[in-house]
Structure 1
């Protein structure tokens, strides 16, 4: 009898853990690619051409509905990744197809600076912001995907609000927040991160002319993310973030489907109770 009880308990634990492994919710952190996608003014515009949308006479005798399209866009458009080769002091750095897939996923670290940005649109994330996060949640975990949340997702795709300027062409008029190079330099020297980015059009703030943060992460072969969406939908700590970039050969960047998973975001108690009942019935029924 004792052996049967032990086997039953083991079965409950085993199946409960299997349910727990699937107990997560997925959050989309990506703006849709469309003609409204935000890109710097010197990049070509997004183009989407419908090639077939209807009943095709040639292939199916008009009996089957078919759709296919063609699209063209800049690498650095909408929610996208900057490869390390994009901006550097010297030529080199990983291109998109060379970035290991395991470097595009990691524990989510969301640095919320929305209240500070309300006071200063040109705000840059400081070391104090990092230390505040670590005071709340402990040390930034190895392999982290670290994003600044400036509340910019709500402005997208209004170019005037996103660029902080009525002039959408002259980049010297732009105003939006980003990362401070001293903060990023500290992160690179003291923490092990996989990706750096945020919800603005650049992780360097708009007033820069030298893009020091781009240079820093480029020289360290760290991918960057821009125009990330919906960062308010996930916790500041406790998610896993995935950067599903197009594997563009020789690319300097790539449009990306960024998403996060958060464990325990769904309620599987009914499933767990059903498993317990089934195990008990099997062994003792």
Structure 2
């Protein structure tokens, strides 16, 4: 099943203007010195022009970067020979119903936590629905607040040594289940890797690659969207032959009018109480 790039809700919002559609950016700012994986060359931003000419102002810059830095997409080819590279990924695989797996409480007790199938079944039980085909499923571990501090992000005082990394990720078995039983479009994390920090062989990356399922890493602001009910878009730069690339990840969802009314009622109640006390 292919999930349409623009949901019915989105189309109605733009055509009629009657749907209160909220847009949330899930992307970290790239620069000025974003953390990168040990051994990768650093991000370099160079100003070429930033000046006034006779009749106009003109700016032009250049930047040099590896593909896998900041909020970015891993193409299946990243860890699987013969799988799709960035320019070959169909557009419909870069969007889908947002499914946010909140494991913040478990990560607070174990920095090396890996999202389990039990976590996925718990989500389905809580929301009384199966994870939809074509979903973009993202782990929310509460990790995004650590960006761009490299020591915090990689969970170590030696961020140049990958063997010391401690951060959460996915279990291979969970990813396999999402691919074979729920037919998801993409799987992501708010950490530097879909594999947890202590992984040495990257089995999740390998499984995603063999399944031709993109991975999304270093996703931001996940607390700003609902666990279910959004549409997530992964707008990666379409790099020819790319194994990945920086992406502008964002979500849309309909504002809950009942929540707004409740908030207004609570505000009115508080105002009334303050008036009485005065």
Shorter-chain TM-score tier: 0.7 to 0.9
Give distance in 2, aligned partners of 1:145 and 1:107. 6
8 Å contact kept, 2:84–2:212:
yes
Give distance in 2, aligned partners of 1:35 and 1:211. 28
Give distance in 2, aligned partners of 1:21 and 1:225. 32
Classify the secondary structure of the residue corresponding to 1:40: coil
8 Å contact kept, 2:111–2:167:
yes
Give the alignment of 1:129-278 within 5 angstroms.
129-137=119-127, 138-264=129-255
Give distance in 2, aligned partners of 1:266 and 1:86. 42
Residue number in structure 1 paired with 2:113: 123
Classify 1:54/1:225 alpha carbon distance in 2 versus 1 (closer, same or farther; 3 Å).
same
8 Å contact kept, 1:82–1:225:
yes
- TM-score using structure 2 length: 0.85
RMSD (Å) for aligned C-alpha atoms: 1.9
Residue number in structure 1 paired with 2:72: 80
8 Å contact kept, 2:101–2:120:
yes
Residue number in structure 1 paired with 2:58: 66
Give distance in 2, aligned partners of 1:63 and 1:114. 54
Give distance in 2, aligned partners of 1:187 and 1:67. 45
User: What do the CA deviations read for 1:165-221 (whole angstroms, capped 9, x no partner)?
Assistant: 000111000100000011111111211100001100001001111101101110010
Count of residue pairs brought into register by the alignment: 247
Give distance in 1, aligned partners of 2:69 and 2:83. 20
8 Å contact kept, 1:24–1:266:
no
Classify 1:34/1:17 alpha carbon distance in 2 versus 1 (closer, same or farther; 3 Å).
closer
Q: Which is higher, the Rg of structure 1 or of structure 2?
A: 1
- TM-score using structure 1 length: 0.83
